[in-house]
Amino acid sequence: LILLAVLPQFHCQMSFIGGAYMAFSPCPNYTLHVTHETDRPPQVENYWEGGFSLSQWPNIPEVKINMTLDAPARVVVDPQKARVNVRGKSFLITAFEHPPNIKGVFFTVYGVPGGKVPNIESIYLNGENVCPNPTPLNINIKGFSGDQESDDFGGSHVSRVDKTFGCGKRKIGHQGLITHGAETRPGDFPWHVAIYHQEGQRRTYKCGGTIINTHTILTAGHCVFEGQSLITAERIVVQVGKYHLDVADDTAREFRVFVVIPHPRYDTAIFTNDIALLRLTREMVYTDHIQPICLWPADKTNIGDIENRLATAVGWGDTENNTSSSVLRYAEIPIVPTLKCLDSDRDFFGLFLTDSNFCAGYTNGTNVCSGDSGGSLTFEDENKVWRIRGIVSLGARYIGKQICNPKHYVIFTDVAKYLPWIERVSSRKDDGRK
């Protein structure tokens, strides 16, 4: 599924586009065009998209837009075209190109859910006031009912999980899982994503991944490497809200990747620290089919506490017929004690097991398999909140074949051992590569 965005032309009058979008200009010279989609859910309705036209300045050598807002906000731009620096309630947008190479600068302003709409106090272009006496935005926010939590809009940090929307919660009714694996239903695991590698016009499904906030995907380190080489961000495509692997679902959305961040101590030879993050070029909007997972509690990281408990793995990996599944499947598998795992195949597990991964699965043929790599191993707690504990990392193959051995335990990266790294890297203050 490829989403095409049509950039709006710059108009001065109030208008409705397709009955769903409101468009107007708050500046008297019509340099700024604002659009807003009406009737969005309360948690995502406080936003507007801006397009700043540069047609009046065709020869300026640089583009620096300093915009001051009157309410807490977060401003998002395409990181391939511009950057944003925050100073209090002012946002400095610096474009990477200038006219005539670009016609305008586009950005999105997110206000506090249920709070005041961020209005423009002033806009300066390269030090010149280009929006004197701006008109307040006529956007009606209905807001939440009940308790609310606000995000941190004061700076550039973004939480590792989106507290505004909550995490680990299904939005679609569910009747329970069937032990030993089956097909899921759309919306059962809204945090699971498909990761593709692009080579020219050819796109190949590579791995699963997990949404942890509006702009970050958690996956395995080996999913972002080809041999010893890190795959460039431009070659990775992420689809969220997906159920059918090879069919364009109406619920799916596609994203490009801004930066690929493997763990700095990932070892391509023995798969230690097999964990990576993908930062997307734009933020996703949560829906019934697109939701973040909760991370594991930082004070409960002892692997012994979950040994012999059943956890849930999901993916489009190979089935018992050695063919890829066309729909998302799950399996409930137990966490295997380390000694039991070692005793099952000391040559294999003695080489790959460390204090930062663990063993899980059955030896009866019910297991994760080829194509499940990078996906999550999760637990549902007593409050029906799902939390990620593992990432599918490594399994044994049949001798002389390129397919997994489903009668062999599987190694999972222990996400709980990497919580500080995930917290730091999933914020916008750090590119994670140091």
Taking the chain, what is the end-to-end CA distance rounded to the nearest angstrom? 34
Which residues are annotated as catalytic?
A: 222, 274, 373
Determine contact, residues 191/376, Cβ cutoff 8 Å: yes
Buried b (16+ CB within 10 A) or exposed e, 221-240: bbbbbeeeebbebebbbbbb
The Cβ of residue 127 has, within 10 Å, a number of other Cβ atoms equal to 7
Helices and strands per DSSP (H, E), number in the chain = 3, 27
What is the distance of C-alpha 175 from the center of its chain?
27
CA angle 393, 397, 402 (to 5 degrees): 100
**Residue written as token pair 């206000």:** 111
Q: What are phi and psi of 376, to 5 degrees?
A: -95, 155
Nearest to 375 by CA among 163, 250, 193, 237: 193
Distance from C-alpha of 253 to C-alpha of 244, rounded to nearest angstrom:
13
